Amino acid sequence: MNQNAPTLHPAQNLALFDLDNTLLSGDSDYNWSLFLIQEGLLDEHTHKTRNEQFYLDYKNGTLDIYAFLAFQLQPLSRHPRALLDELHQKYMDRVIRPMMTAKAQALVDQHKAQGDLCLVITATNSFVTKPIAAAYGIEHLIGTDPEVKDGEFTGGVAGVPSFQQGKVTRLEQWLSARNQQLSDFKQSYFYSDSHNDLPLMKLVTHPVAVDADPTLAAYAAEQGWPHISLRN
């Protein structure tokens, strides 16, 4: 018996939250690039067009996740971690907090009050998203992990990107490390706006579409899934 295994309350449920355009009324990945452009750290002419195209590919379900990560994580390798952390604090205040809605916070608080295990699971890299999850009061995060060497980002990716089927893989790995599996939870919730999250939404007991894209909205309607809005 593993003495370090977490204690799972028999009635505890699992609440999973996508981040971008779900808990946030915007996309933290897309806006991080725009923020770096505004800070003069990325060239607008060469970067903005590719950022727009990758965002369109994501919405269309045609995103090459590894090509995107090569593009998105490279800027992290160009600057010391201390500077990046300082920039992120500014990014939180200027860009992210205005995208945090009262309805989203109330939903998180409701699950926490019920004693549910809460987790943000997002394709966006964990450097950008960990402080955002913490701002909502959510301790646990699964994001795409940037590779780190000697405390600095290399521009590469570590492990499986938390995207589409990769979210299922990463969640299974995370639960396994806790000596748990999805079936241990009588009720499991996943809130998302994106059809890219259908692989994981199909596995939980309570999938919930949130301000969903047209593909997910249509699928949710066919399946009788609830469709809610977290916008103020």
Q: What is the pLDDT of residues 67-124, one digit of tens each?
A: 999 989 999 999 999 999 999 999 999 999 999 999 999 999 999 999 999 999 999 9
Q: Residue 121: phi, psi to the nearest 5?
A: -130, 115
- What is the rounded radius of gyration, in angstroms, for the C-alpha atoms of the chain? 18
Give pLDDT, residue 169: 98
Report DSSP letters for 39-108, one per residue.
TTSS-HHHHHHHHHHHHHHHHHT---HHHHHHHHHGGGGGS-HHHHHHHHHHHIIIIIGGGB-HHHHHHH
Q: What is the pTM (predicted TM-score) of this model?
A: 0.93
Instruction: Mark the ranges of the chain whose per-residue pLDDT is less than 50.
Output: 1-3, 7-8
Retrieve residue 139's tokens: 């301790």
- Please calculate the CA angle 170-222-142 and round it to the nearest 5 degrees: 15
Is residue 26 a contact partner of residue 20, using CB atoms and an 8 Å limit? yes
Determine the pLDDT at residue 5: 52
What domains appear along the chain, each with residue ranges and CATH number?
Answer: 14-228 (3.40.50.1000)
CB atoms within 10 A of CB 219: 18
Six-digit token pair at 11?
């009635």
- Which residue from 84, 87, 49, 53 is spatially nearest to 68, judged by alpha carbons? 53
Q: Residue 11 has what pLDDT? A: 63
Cβ of 99: how many Cβ atoms within 10 Å?
Answer: 17
What b/e sequence results for 155-182 when a residue is b if at least 16 CB atoms lie within 10 Å of its CB, and e otherwise?
A: bbbeebbbbbebbbbbbeebbeeeebeb
In this prediction, residue 57 carries a pLDDT of 94
- pLDDT number for residue 6: 53
* Catalytic sites, residue numbers: 18, 20
